Amino acid sequence: RDHCVTGVQTCALPISAMKLLIIACLVAAISAAPLSLEDFRVLNGQRARIGQFPFVASISGCSASILNQNTILTAAHCVCRTRPTYVRVGTLNKSGGASYPLDTRAQRVFPGYRCQSVGKSDLAVLKTTRPIQFNSNVQPIELTRTVPADGTRFTISGYGQDENKRSGILKFATNTKARCLSSQYYGSVCQSMKPNSPFYGDSGGPLFTNNNGKFIQVGVVSGGDFRNNQAIYANVGAYRSFITQ
């Protein structure tokens, strides 16, 4: 279900169209700029420690974050054509940890979101049918109330593939917020795909800052603007009222 491609990144097509997506992206990349094979991989990601990012969660095909004992935040493109039935929390391996059923009737996608599109409103809120039990490895993350300034340092984390094409292991990387270069993505949160970027399976995962040991989520992994070599995130600060309603 997740479909991020780093370097020629797009998060806008279902799995059934992945082969066509990869071919199209390769052609576009070759015509847009000279890219090496290394450009298609997550660079400089690190493996997380257990409990390091206790708010990161996993749903089918995508990553997510814990907001409270009953609320999960992810990308709309991860759920707009399906309804995940469970979420896993408190694990370095996406197939491990504690599993909680999701209330498929309570799933909310941002109003007006166009299914499989990438950008600022790629947001979905999911609800568990029973409370998530918090401990040292399972904790909620706070949402930002403002949009971070360009130059802000932040971290991405998720269960997507790494540079060795391994997937399902929680990894993270740090980068810097940049001005979105394409008007198509104005209002989103953007970063350069160098030296690191989300990959398959990271969609829906959190983009966050660390303020004196307090984690604040500022974005949700959405996709990419491969012509300008930028990763694109949904804007949590701009749509906080939707997320928390």
Residue-averaged pLDDT of the chain: 84
Per-residue confidence (pLDDT) for residue 35, from 0 to 100: 31
Q: How does DSSP classify residue 31?
A: H
Residue 41 has pLDDT above 70, yes or no: no
Predicted TM-score of the model (pTM): 0.82
Per-residue confidence (pLDDT) for residue 44, from 0 to 100: 57
Which residues lie closer than 8 Å to 54 by C-beta, 6 or more apart?
66, 90, 136, 137, 138, 139
Query: What whole-number distance in Å separates Cα of residue 142 and Cα of residue 218?
Result: 9
Query: What whole-number distance in Å separates Cα of residue 64 and Cα of residue 45?
Result: 18
Q: 107-113: long-range contacts (C-beta < 8 A, 24 or more apart)?
A: 107/79, 107/83, 108/242, 109/76, 109/79, 109/80, 110/76, 110/239, 110/242, 111/242, 113/76, 113/80
Residue 18 has pLDDT above 50, yes or no: no
Question: pLDDT for 168-190, tens place per residue?
Answer: 889 999 999 999 999 999 999 99
What does the pLDDT average to over 213-239?
A: 95
Per-residue confidence (pLDDT) for residue 163, from 0 to 100: 66
C-beta of residue 4 within 8 angstroms of C-beta of residue 223: yes
Which helix (H) or strand (E) is 5 found in, with range?
none
Q: How confident is the model at residue 83 (pLDDT cuts 50, 70, 90)?
A: very high
Question: pLDDT for 189-222, tens place per residue?
Answer: 999 988 887 866 799 999 999 988 899 999 999 9
Per-residue confidence (pLDDT) for residue 45, from 0 to 100: 80
